[in-house]
Amino acid sequence: MKFSPLATVRSAIRNSAEAYYLHLAGAQQGPYTIPQIDHLVNSGLIGEETLYWCEGLDQWQPVTTLVVLRKVRPNWMKRAIIAGVLLALVVPLWIFGPILIDGWQEANQHEFTSTAAYWRARDVVRTELHTQGLLVQFAGEAECPVTMGTQSAEVKLHGSATDAARKSTAAVWRVAMVFDPGAEEWSGTLPVTSGTPERSGILLPEPPLPQ
């Protein structure tokens, strides 16, 4: 039966109650216990080339003769895993974040203001055109006039509608909005228009006047 000299040394050191010192930054540091040194080495806090010394040794020895070096993931792999997780979280948020925010604003307007009328009118148009298989994009509030009345508003929304064939059509929607002060809710309807394209609520921009 063969005996490993290295294993014998390790076993003797592990079973001893001696204090261990490390050579770090050009100076002797310690004392440390074996479990402490094991943690420092295998967590990457000190290099495997670090030297240690304890009473009874003639010279400094590599810590790898004292503790077992377990296989650990390289730092670059840990960083790559973290980066991958962050990317998986950030990309969907970057893509769908504005859509979610717009959807929340369109559905949660409970004040009698022009801004609230604008956002609720967008929800009316989006809901109607979704049933027709159309995707819609709207211009900003500054480009969409809102005429306020007595517990009502007319909102002129500018934007575009895109069909399943990815054909986009510039359009204007005039939405009649009514505000219920008791329920603090807006409701609206789209006018039914004829012409091309034949879709309810889509009003094509008027052609410019000849110069």
Torsion of CA 144, 148, 149, 153, to 10 degrees: 40
- Which residue is it, tokens 């986009």? 168
**Domain ranges across the chain:** 5-65, 109-189
- pLDDT mean over 187-210: 49
8 A C-beta contact, residue 146 and residue 154: yes
Instruction: Spell out a b/e string for 8-28, using b for 16 or more CB atoms within 10 Å of the CB, else e.
Output: eebeebeeeeeebbbbeeeee
CA distance 54 to 210: 98
- Out of 35-39, 128-132, 172-176, 201-205, pick the least confident: 201-205
Nearest one of 192, 208, 210 to 200, comparing CA atoms = 192
Which of the residue ranges 45-54, 69-78, 144-153 would you say has the lowest mean pLDDT?
A: 69-78
Structure tokens at 100: 């979610």
Of 2-16, 29-43, 182-196, the least confident: 2-16
What is the β-pairing status of strands 152-162 and 51-54?
Answer: unpaired
Identify the residue with better confidence: 28 or 201. 28
Beta bridge partners of 181: none
CA–CA distance, 124 with 152 (Å, rounded to integer): 15
Residue 52, Cβ density class (10 Å: 0-12 exposed, 13-18 middle, ≥19 buried): buried
| DSSP secondary structure, 85-100, as one string | HHHHHHHHHHHHHHHH
126 vs 201, higher pLDDT: 126
Banded model confidence at residue 153, pLDDT cuts 50, 70, 90: very high
Choose among 72, 80, 30: nearest CA to 55.
30
Please give the CATH superfamily to which domain 5-65 belongs.
GYF domain (3.30.1490.40)
Torsion of CA 105, 109, 114, 118, to 10 degrees: 40
Is the whole model's pTM more than 0.75, yes or no? no
Give the integer Cα–Cα distance in Å for 175 and 189.
6
CA dist list (Å): 77 to 38, 81, 83, 87: 22, 6, 10, 15
